[in-house]
Structure 1
Amino acid sequence: MVEKGMPLELFAFMAWRIWNQRNKVYVNLQSSPLHQVAKQARAMLAQYQMTTWTAELQLGSSGIRGTRWSPPQAGFVKINFDGAVFSNANSSGVGAVIRNHDGAVMASCAEKLNEAYKAEEIEALAALKALQLAFDLGFQNAILEGDSLGLIKALKADDHNLSPLGLLVEDVKLAASNFVSLSYSHIKRNGNSVAHNLAKHAISIPDFQVWMEDVPSHVVSFLHSDVVHLP
């Protein structure tokens, strides 16, 4: 299956795919036949290369820098979150991914909500779900990062707001108080692509799903785009 002179990137995708299929067998989920692994790895590599090329074009044409995902300091995890609204289906989705200082995935999740929330509300709900997941998994030192500048500013502010959105913000702050150390960080959308695509993936699941040390296969290319520039 492993060819002599195989590019390192293809080898990495193939190794991940084998490991992913092994995990599915371990938890009694349907897995792909072994002979399809190489074909699937090549398809994932092609998607990754296209995603990276597109992102570089966008960065170059816009002149925007500093929008790439960056890892947290050692001893911390970074929790990225995002929300999506599916108006035609009268539903919404939230997505979150937890990564360590090496960029390795600790866990990820997606949840489908049977209501089309306002954009700012679903962002707050995504932040809340992300913190709940991280706390349930035992993480105590974290950075919560999202692409909604308004929400991040509200979370950093000391004032209280009794509006429906304000109450959601207070729920997030309450969840954050359970951590030993937690800070908030804003990042532009193209640096939050993993969480964004997890949120969009929610439309295709019944309710709530968690991936331990993993993400759905179609999100892997965005995951690799985040870490390919890391030393």
Structure 2
Amino acid sequence: MGIEFPKVRVNSLINAQTRNWDVDLLQALFKPEEVQLIRGISLGDVSARDKMIWPHTQSGTYTEEICDHCKSHSEDIVHALWLCPCLNEVWEADTGWSFRNTVRWDDFQKLILHVEEVGLDLDLFAMIIWLLWHRRNQIKVGNSATSLGQIVACARQQLQDYNLVQPMKPATESANLHTAVTWSPPRAPFLKINYNGAVFQDSNSAGLGAVILDSVGGVLASLAENIPLPQTVADMEAAAVRRAIMLATDLNLSSIVLKGDSEIITRAIQAEEQSLASYGNLIEEIRLHVDSFLNFRITHVKRKRNSVTHRLARHVSDLVVWMEEVPSHILPVLLTEAG
């Protein structure tokens, strides 16, 4: 190709016109697994200055602690609650968690999504995780802690105790609670944009989804895009925000309220300081776009209030934009969410 490998710089690997990775050049210079990792690094449309980043925490803030279980490994949340060999007796007590030995997760949110998507008991998983974290904190302050061999039994018992004391709700009250979490219109002059992302481990890709609604629930536009799998869920959510913001910019919208279920990305956009996370370049680009709006707000919503964009993100395709509609199979979800 006329390029000597030692002289290749990162900007040589990026197509200057499309601002995407030059896949042909990557495939010529790197191994397939390396190409996949590089393509998972999200690029923005705005050139960013080189800077040091810390990719080992979602916030980009450097921290380093030794795991309290094994005393031999730098602690991160995945190791402390899932991968540490000292936890084998916890996670091997039930064959449902056997995928722990075959699938490696570098991001805890991906692990939670997998537990939910394969239909495992998410409540039990959460209770076990809470007990492990509580045990870790008790050890840190020198208090006695539950033995690892009792964690699963304690989790099942506490979950049972919790469910037993929950009051039975009448059907009418349940209906009112359902209505309370449905769609709420934005106040004029704002338009509401919801965004989301979805992981496809089997194809090493991710989906992005966005929908723009007016004050009466009418759809102005919706979007779905399939991209190479980013390195973390937070990177994927940042890419989804960027795509939603670009859609709003292309439609010349002036006042928007942006909503998504990633609290990490919401905080990163709202923060005044520079983000040193792996998705920091996308945050900088998003902030530049935000300055072009007359009015802008961003808020965090629970995942159950973001189901339309979750379905859009799972619409496997290249970039597709629908004007004044959503795909037909998503319309029932939109109508249900709108109450």
The verdict on a shared fold, with TM-score over 0.5 as the criterion, is yes
Alpha-carbon RMSD: 2.1
Looking at structure 2, the residues matched to 95 and 110 of structure 1 have their Cα atoms a distance apart, in angstroms, of 5
Q: Which moved more, 1:128-137 or 1:150-159?
A: 150-159
Map 1:87-126 onto structure 2 (within 5 A): 87-126=201-240
Instruction: Assess if the C-alpha contact under 8 Å between 2:268 and 2:275 holds in 1.
Output: no
Aligned counterpart, 1:155: 269
Task: Tell me, in whole angstroms, the C-alpha distance in 1 between the residues paired with 2:286 and 2:201.
Answer: 24
Matched to 1:208, the amino acid is: L
State the 1:173 CA deviation: 1.5
> Is the Cα–Cα contact under 8 Å of residues 224 and 312 in structure 2 kept in the other structure?
yes
1:146 aligns with 2:257: no
**Aligned pair count?**
167
| TM-score, structure 1 normalization | 0.67
Query: Residue 330 of structure 2 is aligned with which of 209, 219, 227?
Result: 219
Larger gyration radius, structure 1 or structure 2: 2
Aligned to 2:118: none
Residue type at the aligned position of 2:329: H
Go from structure 1 to structure 2 and tell me whether the alpha carbon gap of 1:154 and 1:215 turns closer, same or farther (over 3 Å shift): same
CA shift at 1:115, angstroms? Answer: 2.9
Native 8 Å contact 2:207 2:227 kept in 1:
yes
> Structure 1 residues 162 and 89 mapped into 2: Cα distance closer, same or farther (>3 Å)?
same
SS at match of 1:97: strand
Give runs of aligned pairs for residues 15-164 of structure 1, distance below 5 A: 60=174, 67-164=181-278
1:92/1:117 contact within 8 Å kept: no
Q: Secondary structure at 2:329's aligned position in 1? A: helix
Bigger fraction of residues in helix = 1
Identity of aligned residues (%): 40
Higher strand share: 1
Q: Whole-Å Cα distance in 1 between the matches of residues 203 and 213 of structure 2?
A: 31
- The answer (yes or no) to whether the contact 1:83–1:94 under 8 Å persists in 2 is yes
- Structure 2, unpaired ranges of 5+: 1-170
Q: Within 2, Cα distance between the matches of 1:154 and 1:66?
A: 28
In 2: Cα distance, 1:99 partner to 1:66 partner: 19
When normalised by structure 2's length, the TM-score is 0.46
**1:183 counterpart = 2:297:** yes
Contact persistence 1:109–1:198 (CA under 8 A): yes
1:122-166 per-position Cα deviation (integer Å, ceiling 9, x unaligned): 100000000100110111100010011111111111111233222
CA distance in 2, matches of 1:174, 1:68: 32
